[in-house]
Amino acid sequence: MSRILHRRIGPPLPVAVEGEGIVVRDADGKDYIDASGGAAVSCLGHRHPDILAAMRTQMDCLEYAHTGFFTTEPAEALADDLVTHAPEGLGRVYLVSGGSEAMEAALKLSRQYFVERGEPQRTRFVARLQSYHGNTLGALAVGGNLKRREAFEPILFDTQHIEPCYAYRHRRPNETEAAYGLRAAEALERKLAELGPETVIAFVAETVVGATTGAVTATPGYFKAIREICDRHGVLLILDEVMSGMGRTGTLHACEQEGIAPDLMTIAKGLGAGYQPIGAVLISDTIYDVMRSGSAQFHHGHTYIGHPIPCATALAVQQVIRRDNLLDNVAHQGDRLQAGLEKRFGNHPYVGDIRGRGLFRGIELVADRTSKEPFPANAGLARRIHGAAMARGLCIYPGSGTADGQLGDHVLIAPPFIVDGGQIDTIVERVGDAVDAAVVELCGGPT
Ligand code: PLP
């Protein structure tokens, strides 16, 4: 009997014992195609020799040095690399150990920035419903994933949430994508007017929404309008690219495809590709300059920030992605994945939407394609699909509450960047079989 408090207290999980490329093997010798890279993490697949070598080299030199006393070569080199490839104006880096830590740091940094600027009345954050920014209390407070918040609501700081940009559900029948994008962005303008924009620290959003709705991209023009509204009111823009960033959508940063740059950007998951826990905040020069000429100290820190082994690992990950032109593969195989899913599910009665960018794709399930009515929450469809996929040797990432926080199901497909065309086809086939099997289990007949 396991002594671990697992995510779910229930039947035992398979024991993962080794990995190779896009495959994870369990203790019974069963292979699983890791078609979601865990939670969009393992972007180079498993046991990549170059990454393992970089980790070993660093381990042989220095395993740890406190960041209050020392800086290290791998941390400096990683920061240089991240800034070299960052969107315009993001010239500094704060290194942490994961996505939630990155969000906590971004929230505190943005608040401290205004304190140092002499605007201490800015105390509020505006964020979006149907978003996820992490499970620590600050990150959870700005998150709009209702189920994850529920039990903790009374102990979360007050955050104002606006509707997301979610065309499949909220675009009106005769509205263009661009008109919808502007209407969705207007919600921020209204919220700022209601609160008093001078009281707001930042607007927080996932550039492409991951776990909560399954690879929902904003419509064209939405983020440009958001950037303009933030600038006009002196409100910072924090983009959470923990899941969608570091190449997942086919460009290093998802916001490149929106034509904007944030003031603070959080990254994690693909940054270390699962080889080591690491995250980071990319920080604008303006924020850094205000801090430097103010208290010259960020009132924050954790024991393991800037840890040399994760930093050396993440640097090697970035170098391999560039050396092997993997972002081209992300774009190319991403198109093949989308086309394959559309072909497989084009007429499927229970698939409402197939969406995403690069190797970041989501399938939203509905009980009725015309009305877009979701399955009942207690049907647990996404979990059933996940179970059926695991039985077929496929890992995909399920989510529920997709439509409105309570109802709706989706699965996320986010394979490693090294995936090839044949593997994409196998993934599509197994996803198709898993969805069909789950629906038969639920509805009791062939689809
Ligand atoms: N932000 C986003 C968009 C995420 O998807 C996640 C994790 O799924 C987080 C933040 C939190 O990251 P972590 O689980 O590494 O703390």
Across residues 137-160, what is the average pLDDT?
96
- 307 CA to centre of ligand 1 in angstroms: 19
pLDDT in tens, 231-256: 999 999 999 999 999 999 999 999 99
pLDDT of residue 205: 98
- 102 CA to centre of ligand 1 in angstroms: 9
Q: Rounded CA gap, 330 and 251, in Å?
A: 9
pLDDT in tens, 30-73: 999 999 999 999 999 999 999 999 999 999 999 999 999 999 99
Across residues 1-17, what is the average pLDDT?
94
Across residues 188-213, what is the average pLDDT?
98
Structure tokens at 342: 């559309």
Which of 267, 269, 410 for mutating ligand 1's site (highest number of atoms within 8 Å of CB)?
A: 269
Q: Is the pLDDT of residue 378 over 70?
A: yes
Q: Is the pLDDT of residue 102 over 60?
A: yes
Answer yes or no: are the C-beta atoms of 281 and 273 closer than 8 Å.
Answer: no
pLDDT of residue 434: 98
Please give the order of strands across the beta sheet that includes 200-206. 90-96, 279-284, 264-267, 236-240, 200-206, 124-128, 160-162
pLDDT of residue 1: 85
Across residues 199-219, what is the average pLDDT?
97
Q: Is the pLDDT of residue 258 over 60?
A: yes
CB distance 240 to ligand 1 below 6 Å: yes
Q: Residue 384 in 3-state DSSP?
A: helix
CB distance 242 to ligand 1 below 6 Å: yes
Q: Rounded CA gap, 141 and 215, in Å?
A: 22
Q: Of 405, 390, 321, whose CA–CA distance to 147 is shortest?
A: 405
CB distance 103 to ligand 1 below 6 Å: yes
- 107 CA to centre of ligand 1 in angstroms: 14
Q: Is the pLDDT of residue 174 over 80?
A: yes
64 φψ region: left (φ > 0), alpha (ψ -120 to 50), beta (else): beta
pLDDT of residue 445: 67
Element (H, E) at 387: helix 381-391
CB distance 39 to ligand 1 below 6 Å: yes
Q: Of 100, 148, 133, 136, whose CA–CA distance to 405 is shortest?
A: 148
Q: Which residue ranges form the domains of the chain, and what is each CATH number?
A: 16-34+325-443 (3.90.1150.10), 51-323 (3.40.640.10)
- pLDDT, mean over the chain: 97
Residue type, 184: A
pLDDT in tens, 119-138: 999 999 999 999 999 999 99
- 210 CA to centre of ligand 1 in angstroms: 9
pLDDT of residue 11: 92
Indicate the pTM of the whole model. 0.98
Element (H, E) at 23: strand 23-26
CB distance 112 to ligand 1 below 6 Å: no
Q: What angle do CA 45, 48, 50 make, to 5 degrees?
A: 140
Q: Residue 368 in 3-state DSSP?
A: coil
pLDDT of residue 346: 86
pLDDT of residue 291: 97
Which of 213, 242, 253 for mutating ligand 1's site (highest number of atoms within 8 Å of CB)?
A: 242
Q: Is the pLDDT of residue 447 over 60?
A: no
Across residues 191-218, what is the average pLDDT?
98
pLDDT in tens, 14-36: 999 999 999 999 999 999 999 99
Q: What angle do CA 426, 7, 269 make, to 5 degrees?
A: 60
Which of 36, 97, 101, 133 for mutating ligand 1's site (highest number of atoms within 8 Å of CB)?
A: 133
- 281 CA to centre of ligand 1 in angstroms: 13
Q: Is the pLDDT of residue 208 over 80?
A: yes
CB distance 312 to ligand 1 below 6 Å: no
CB distance 206 to ligand 1 below 6 Å: yes
- 243 CA to centre of ligand 1 in angstroms: 6
pLDDT of residue 444: 81
pLDDT of residue 126: 98
pLDDT of residue 107: 98
Q: Is the pLDDT of residue 353 over 80?
A: yes
- 359 CA to centre of ligand 1 in angstroms: 17
pLDDT of residue 392: 98
